[in-house]
Amino acid sequence: MPVSDQAFVTLATNDTYCQGALVLGQSLRAQMATRALVVLVTPHVSRLLRALLSRVFDEVVEVSLADSADPARLALLRRPELGPTLTKLHCWALTRYRKAVFLDADTLVLSNIDELFDRSEFSAAPDPGWPDCFNSGVFVFRPSLRTHGLLLRHAMDHGSFDGADQGLLNSFFSDWATADIHKHLPFTYNLSCNAAYTYTPAFRWFGSRAKVVHFLGPRKPWTYKYNPQTGSVLDEGPGAAPRHELSFLNLWWDIYHRSVLPLYGSALGGPRIVALSVSVSEIAIQEKVRALSPEEQRRRWEEGHIDYMGTDAFARIQEKLDRFLH
Ligand code: UDP
Ligand code: GLC
Ligand code: MN
């Protein structure tokens, strides 16, 4: 029996992070998660991606964007793009669920993790960069409008020491490090697999027990290119920056290729469209081409550079399909 008053929750404020949310959702389904799957989106997320998310998640909930607008502290974190992560705080407003587990959209679930619902608010795993802080990519919480209000007030009154959600949540749940060891999740529930963070011997020793991997850091799985023939992301050569553990990257892409790309096909009216996106030996997820004029976008479209993730992708593909069919 599915448990209807508990949920796994993630967040995507744009179509790119939606790609991660789709893989995360499919990984939870593959591991037979028995709780509702919920994704928070903001008004920016396109119609196409909302349609795809609703194929995987039980609920796609629109919330307003909350941005720290704190470039100085985000610069300390060296992640200027993370201001919108304050939107995460809106997960406390999901009060139809009694308990929930939040997972970043850049996480991947490797085994069933329903046992996390035995934990109480606020449970999380240590951050690999400063282990007296928790990492806010995976946590157990109890939705409550009171807590939601207090968190927003805390954000207004004190801001966040890292300009994003993790700093804020750590100063709000400030006794996490010392109060109750049961609220420390094992690192295997939030294993950062960025080579730069890894204590390699421990990774060798314990890594096979990983339950949730987290592609923490500026490089995400969707920024790599993947070759479906070899089942591997492309080697970027000796001068390239250290990358995430290869086997986890390949697993992410395997799920994307097998169980996310086909959703595009069915949402857009049949397998012929899937062929458009996977006919080549490399798959890459293109960033939005925001700066292009409508004429320029049209030219790129006619030349075959298709912006599947664009706000108007659905309309364009439909238009092309109509022309093709007539
Ligand atoms: N996120 C988002 N839009 C953004 C940035 C972040 O939706 O522009 C969400 C997404 O769920 C993401 C989480 O906030 O996984 C935290 O950001 P990220 O995972 O990039 O931070 P990291 O774990 O690398 O520090
Ligand atoms: C962390 C967390 C992420 C959070 C970010 C900014 O690295 O993994 O979830 O958004 O810090 O606070
Ligand atoms: Mn993350």
What residue ranges define each of the domains in the chain, with the CATH number in brackets? 3-220 (3.90.550.10), 294-325 (no CATH)
- Report residue 23 as tokens: 């893989």
136 or 238: which leads in pLDDT: 136
Task: List Cα–Cα distances, 63 to 43, 142, 280, 301, in angstroms.
Answer: 7, 18, 37, 32
Mean pLDDT, rounded, for 116-137: 97
Give bridge partners of residue 7 from the DSSP assignment. Answer: 36, 100
Mean pLDDT, rounded, for 270-293: 49
Q: Torsions phi, psi of 148, nearest 5?
A: -55, -50
- Listed range (117-121, 169-173, 183-187, 203-207) with the worst mean pLDDT: 203-207
State the pLDDT at residue 299. 62
Ligand closest to Cα of 91 equals 1
Is pLDDT above 60 for 307? no
- In this structure, the residues whose C-beta lies within 6 A of any atom of ligand 1 are 10-14, 17, 81-82, 84-85, 104-106, 137, 216-217
pLDDT band at 198 (very low <50, low <70, confident <90, very high): low
Is pLDDT above 90 for 61? yes
Mean pLDDT, rounded, for 145-155: 96
State the pLDDT at residue 207. 86
- Helices 313-325, 271-278: axis angle to 10 degrees equals 110
- In this structure, the residues whose C-beta lies within 6 A of any atom of ligand 2 are 82, 85, 104, 135-137, 162, 164-167, 216
Mean pLDDT, rounded, for 16-27: 97
Mean pLDDT, rounded, for 19-41: 98
* Average confidence score pLDDT of the chain: 85
pLDDT band at 204 (very low <50, low <70, confident <90, very high): confident
